[in-house]
Structure 1
Amino acid sequence: MDHNKLLGEFLRARREVTTPAQAGLVDGGPRRTPGLRREEVAMMAHVSTDYYIRLEQGRERHPSERVLGALARVFDLTPEATAHMHALAHPLLRPARAPARRLSSDLRKLIDSWPDTPALICDGLMNVMAANRLADALYSGFEERDNLLRMIFLDPVARDFYPEWGKSARSKVAHLRLAAGVLLDDHRLTELVGELSVKSADFRRLWARHDVSSKVGEVKRMNHQEVGELELTCEIFSVNSVEGLQLITLMAQPGSASEQALKLLGSLAAPARSSRVPS
């Protein structure tokens, strides 16, 4: 991963997915390439076309705050995507993040105390550090359950498990892009992106879009092999005691069919076993 080109790659990807209508321009009809033209972006950002081209090509890597703010407005970036762009533009200001430490026994006990709520502890690369019994049962159809990205892109059962596979896949890739803003120097990120890029054309396509987003409050539909369809709300919480770790919960609406399905799944699940990740 060439850090010197990441800002340019991000800008080019955002330009190609931003339509003239989204940018407030009159659509002049079909275009040879998708999205905005470079000269249109330059005009709206109040910079020269040559300067903007240098940004995309990675020959200009130190845009001012004014230029970054203008580009964020042109591409209608979310606050998360804007912060990600700033991190790419100013890598020396990006705080170094060490790999997440191993989990405390108290954190394991916390998620194990929730018999009716699937819960996972993941790091920024979506490696599964721990899962409670109901989460293990929920994902029992997957052959490997060490990383949420490998599961959705490399395991054949994923497309049956996620009825809205495309939505779930886009969400996970956008979440990884968000995490990558502070993990660019982590060799594990390079290895994971390389592996997924080689093995999955869908991942390559979505990674190239440079979408950036968190997954807070996302409703997920799942199709479990034993209890059928589930509709669960995914909530993500930062673990303040260990930088980089996140607690993921999947909750059903009270009184819903999904809540009953989770209870049935809990009754079918084998007794709790020791975590796959050693403490």
Structure 2
Amino acid sequence: MHAKTELARFLRARRERVRPEEVGLPVTGRRRVPGLRREELALLAGISAEYYLRLEQGRDRNPSATVLDALARVLLLDDEATAYLHALAGPGPRRRPRRPRPESVPSGIHQLVMSHPDAPAFVHGRYTDVLIANPLARALSPCYTPGTNLLRAAFLDPQFRELHQDWESTARSLVASVRALAGPECEDPRLTELVGELAVRSQEFRRLWARHDVRVRTSGVTCLDHPQVGPLRLGFEKLALIGTDQVLVVHHALSRSESAQALTLLATLAAPDPVPAGTSRTGAPDG
């Protein structure tokens, strides 16, 4: 994923998603292209059509901050996507590809996750690899087992799709969060490998990746159909861990709701069997 082509792809993908009426343009006659025409975008951004064409063809990747802000305004980008656009067009040479390093969760976060048995909680890294998960999270979904890559599971694991009633929304959010967390790391070997694998194996992934969405959802609601306890409507909170590329995810249910009762039942099913008095963890009598 070369920097020039990534900037060009991002501009093209986002331009095709903006409807003329969203930016105050009248719609007359039949349009041959989805979204805005190049010359329309250039006009609204206050730049020449020829210059914009060079940007979208990858022949110029050093626009000024003023031009980038104007493009972001016309493309209706939020703050996160605008920052991503600026990073794609950043000056200076690209960093050398970095070697993937094992991600480790800070010990305090590990203790925090494991000390809350009544709330499914886990931590994933910058590519959505699950790093740690408490027992209730693993009971909620086998995809929360440490070592699982959530992005890969979303598109290639049938269990993930069967569990998530809102699969399309969840998958779209995962794709957008990977772009946001990884940033414009056009030469990141791990990202290249993961995207390449999914692009080959999943048409749905190719479609969503081509949208160039950039966003990390920090909270929301997900609807699950659990094989043991039935329907669950759970809120979730995502907290970025400062100093890392990791995210802590915690699910919760509305107090005294049916989902809360079902989650309590699942916690009971997931709890380890109590050790009988006078018996060691090895199963041998004490003494």
Q: TM-score, normalised by structure 1?
A: 0.90
Report what 2:167 is aligned to.
165
Which range is displaced more, 84-93 or 149-158?
84-93
Q: 1:238: how far off?
A: 1.5
In the alignment, structure 1 residue 266 sits paired with structure 2 residue 229: no
In the alignment, structure 1 residue 70 sits paired with structure 2 residue 70: yes
Q: 1:144: how far off?
A: 9.1
Report what 1:109 is aligned to.
111
Report what 2:283 is aligned to.
none
Report what 1:19 is aligned to.
19
Report what 1:46 is aligned to.
46
2:20 is aligned with what amino acid?
Answer: P
Compared with structure 1, are the counterparts of its residues 145 and 226 closer, same or farther at alpha carbon in structure 2 (3 Å cutoff)? Answer: farther
SS of the equivalent of 1:205 reads helix
Which range is displaced more, 203-212 or 97-106?
97-106
The 5 Å alignment of 1:181-192 reads 181=183, 183-192=185-194
Report what 1:239 is aligned to.
241
Q: Distance in 2 between matches of 1:51 and 1:180?
A: 29
2:170 is aligned with what amino acid?
Answer: S
Report what 1:33 is aligned to.
33
Percent of paired sites with the same residue? 48
1:58 is aligned with what amino acid?
Answer: G
The 5 Å alignment of 1:110-189 reads 110-140=112-142, 146-181=148-183, 183-189=185-191
| Contact 1:170-1:206 at 8 Å conserved across structures | yes
Report which of the two structures shows the higher radius of gyration computed on alpha carbons. 2
1:268 is aligned with what amino acid?
Answer: L
Q: 1:86: how far off?
A: 0.6
Q: 1:180: how far off?
A: 2.6
Compared with structure 1, are the counterparts of its residues 66 and 93 closer, same or farther at alpha carbon in structure 2 (3 Å cutoff)? Answer: farther
What is the number of equivalent residue pairs in this alignment? 271
Report what 1:2 is aligned to.
2
Compared with structure 1, are the counterparts of its residues 137 and 17 closer, same or farther at alpha carbon in structure 2 (3 Å cutoff)? Answer: same
Render the CA deviation track for 1:15-36: whole Å, top value 9, x for unaligned.
0011001121111143222111
| Contact 2:137-2:144 at 8 Å conserved across structures | no
Render the CA deviation track for 1:223-249: whole Å, top value 9, x for unaligned.
111111111112111112x41111111
SS of the equivalent of 2:142 reads coil
Q: Distance in 2 between matches of 1:93 and 1:79?
A: 25
Q: TM-score, normalised by structure 2?
A: 0.88
Unaligned runs of 5+ residues in structure 1 are 273-279
Which range is displaced more, 89-98 or 186-195?
89-98
SS of the equivalent of 2:9 reads helix
Q: Distance in 1 between matches of 2:233 and 2:147?
A: 20
| Contact 1:122-1:130 at 8 Å conserved across structures | yes
Unaligned runs of 5+ residues in structure 2 are 274-287
Higher RCO (C-alpha under 8 Å, 6+ residues apart): 1
SS of the equivalent of 2:16 reads helix
